Amino acid sequence: MQKTLRDFEAFLDRSYIIENYLQYNRVLYQKKIMPNKHLADLKPGQFATILAIDIDAQMQHRFCALGFRCGQKIHLLRKGKWLQGPLHVRVGMTEVMLRHRDARYIAITAIGESI
């Protein structure tokens, strides 16, 4: 019982930290401190650094499990050609197909070209 209670308290602490982090990112967006560049704005072959992910906590956990974290380098390999199709990106050593609308929630900085 005691271990379960400690696990639950640790979970609440992590949830509180994540929720505060998301709230902090929303405040930065509202104050226009963050740039208006998003992952969906990249062209194939470009790379950037993830600045923030402004999405609900459940999707935040999913993105985090895939390797999408602030400060992580991301490389856009290719884009779908029809109706804002999916994006094929590499984050670290992981390649992921991502919906265009989800890519709009990922703020980026330091756009560069691959060699």
Q: Could you report the per-residue pLDDT of 84-105, keeping only the tens digit for each? A: 889 999 998 899 999 988 888 8
The first and second tokens of residue 30, run together, are: 């509202």
Helix or strand run (H / E) with residue 2: helix 2-30
CA atoms of 89 and 79, how far apart (whole Å) = 9
Token pair belonging to 59:
């999707």
Instruction: Note the pLDDT tens digit of each residue in 71-85.
Output: 889 999 999 887 788
Asked whether the beta carbons of 22 and 30 are under 8 A apart, the reply is: no
Q: What is the reported pTM?
A: 0.65
Of 81, 79, 73, 72, residue with least CA distance to 103: 79
